[in-house]
């Protein structure tokens, strides 16, 4: 055990003041408490933000959705507006972790969770993410679960979140509030690939607080859904996953939003698959041809050579399910 201080912020201003002085924000605590117990993380000051007024899901002026950072995963999945307009979000949440954790964990915390592998949690193993410059035990170790896209020599861990895959597919953005005011960051720029600094995972500036995730309005009707392939049917990370949203009008696909999980160091948007779909009729022959582009650029490791093929098949199956020809 090591000493740390704990403070509860009653207002956003109080939270920002504490954050400016190096405090770490905590709400559900489902990741940070674990990592602190395991001495992987050593926060000196924890700032409890769970009383801040960030618990609403609202429709934006442009017809999109704004999900407050402190809305729990369970509340988000159960929300009627989320379920009817973006079922891909609800499904991705319901396939995540356990019911108990979904009740505690927040949307803001979910997208702030560490990109990690089992070696990250093992303080006796080399891990550039936990201890920059120490090496990466996963490269020569057991790397079946690891990433095949967006990797670097420094780190090959997959991003763990399911709902982040849905956010990436839907081209969401993250609202941040900090000492310099408010800003909105496209989701594609929010989560960072490891490069040579795998310890830096989100484009959050010191003291900034996530206030909401915004999903843009998309043309209607929009069919969407999430498929997760994993070793067991609950409480398990994805080997591969696919978030798909399709807008079909006049018998032609007009909009296609596709992203993959379990394969990238960040949720992996699939623009080549999307481009293959747009302008085409949603017929049986289309899905496999589009999905064949999903794993382009993949660089498997020793134990996960199966992932590119599994990714293609996962995307194909979910395109077929959402596209209506299953």
Number of H helices, E strands in the chain: 14, 12
The label of the residue with tokens 């607080």 reads: 209
Question: How far apart are CB 179 and ligand SF4 at their closest, in Å?
Answer: 30
The SS3 assignment for 270 reads: coil
Q: Which is nearer to ligand SF4, 65 or 127 (CB)?
A: 127
Question: How far apart are CB 255 and ligand SF4 at their closest, in Å?
Answer: 35
CA 293, distance to chain mean position in Å, is 21
Question: How far apart are CB 156 and ligand SF4 at their closest, in Å?
Answer: 5
| Residue (of 242, 257, 244, 248) closest to 279 by Cα position | 248
Phi then psi for 19, rounded to 5 degrees?
-65, -35
The label of the residue with tokens 């392939």 reads: 229
Q: Which is nearer to ligand SF4, 155 or 212 (CB)?
A: 155
Question: How far apart are CB 287 and ligand SF4 at their closest, in Å?
Answer: 32
What's the alpha-carbon Rg for the chain, to the nearest Å?
A: 20
Beta strands in the chain (DSSP E): 5-8, 24-26, 45-48, 57-59, 65-68, 173-178, 181-186, 209-215, 223-229, 240-249, 252-261, 268-269
Question: How far apart are CB 108 and ligand SF4 at their closest, in Å?
Answer: 22
Question: How far apart are CB 297 and ligand SF4 at their closest, in Å?
Answer: 19
Is 226 in contact with 88 (CB distance < 8 Å)? yes
Q: Which is nearer to ligand SF4, 129 or 269 (CB)?
A: 129
Q: Which is nearer to ligand SF4, 91 or 201 (CB)?
A: 201
| Residue (of 253, 238, 233) closest to 315 by Cα position | 238
Question: How far apart are CB 102 and ligand SF4 at their closest, in Å?
Answer: 24
Instruction: For 271-307, give one letter per residue: b (16+ CB within 10 A) or e.
Output: eebbebbeeeebeeebbeebbebbbeebebbeebeeb
181 beta partners: 178
Beta strands in 54-139 (DSSP E): 57-59, 65-68
Q: Which is nearer to ligand SF4, 106 or 202 (CB)?
A: 202
Q: Which is nearer to ligand SF4, 31 or 173 (CB)?
A: 31
Q: Which is nearer to ligand SF4, 141 or 178 (CB)?
A: 141
User: Given the rule CB under 6 A, which residues bind ligand SF4?
Assistant: 116-117, 119-120, 127-129, 136-138, 155-157, 198
Question: How far apart are CB 149 and ligand SF4 at their closest, in Å?
Answer: 14
Q: Which is nearer to ligand SF4, 129 or 159 (CB)?
A: 129
């Amino acid at each position: 055990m090591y000493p740390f201080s704990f403070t509860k912020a009653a207002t956003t201003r109080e939270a920002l003041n504490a954050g400016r002085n190096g405090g770490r924000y905590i709400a559900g605590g489902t990741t940070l408490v674990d990592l602190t117990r395991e001495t992987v993380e050593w926060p000196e000051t924890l700032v409890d933000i769970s009383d801040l007024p960030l618990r609403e899901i609202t429709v934006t002026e442009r017809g999109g959705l704004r999900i407050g950072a402190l809305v729990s995963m369970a509340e988000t999945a159960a929300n009627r507006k989320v379920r009817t307009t973006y079922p891909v979000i609800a499904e991705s949440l319901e396939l995540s972790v356990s019911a108990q954790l979904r009740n505690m964990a927040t949307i803001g915390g979910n997208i702030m969770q560490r990109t990690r592998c089992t070696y990250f949690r093992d303080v006796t193993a080399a891990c550039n993410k936990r201890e920059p410059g120490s090496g990466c035990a996963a490269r020569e170790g057991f790397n079946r679960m690891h990433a095949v896209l967006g990797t670097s020599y420094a780190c090959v861990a997959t991003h763990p979140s399911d709902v982040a895959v849905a956010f990436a597919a839907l081209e969401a953005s993250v609202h941040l509030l900090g000492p310099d005011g408010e800003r909105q960051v496209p989701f594609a720029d929010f989560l960072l690939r490891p490069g040579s600094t795998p310890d830096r995972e989100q484009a959050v500036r010191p003291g900034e607080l996530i206030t909401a995730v915004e999903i843009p309005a998309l043309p209607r009707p929009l069919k969407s859904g999430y498929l997760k392939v994993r070793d067991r049917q609950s409480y398990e990370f994805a080997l591969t996953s696919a978030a798909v949203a399709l807008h079909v009008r006049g018998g032609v696909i007009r909009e296609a939003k596709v992203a993959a999980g379990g394969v990238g160091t960040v949720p992996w948007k699939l623009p080549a698959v999307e481009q293959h779909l747009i302008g085409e009729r949603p017929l049986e022959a289309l899905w496999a041809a589009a999905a064949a582009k999903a794993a382009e650029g993949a660089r498997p490791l020793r134990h996960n050579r199966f992932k590119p093929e599994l990714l293609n098949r996962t995307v194909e199956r979910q395109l077929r399910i959402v596209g209506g020809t299953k």
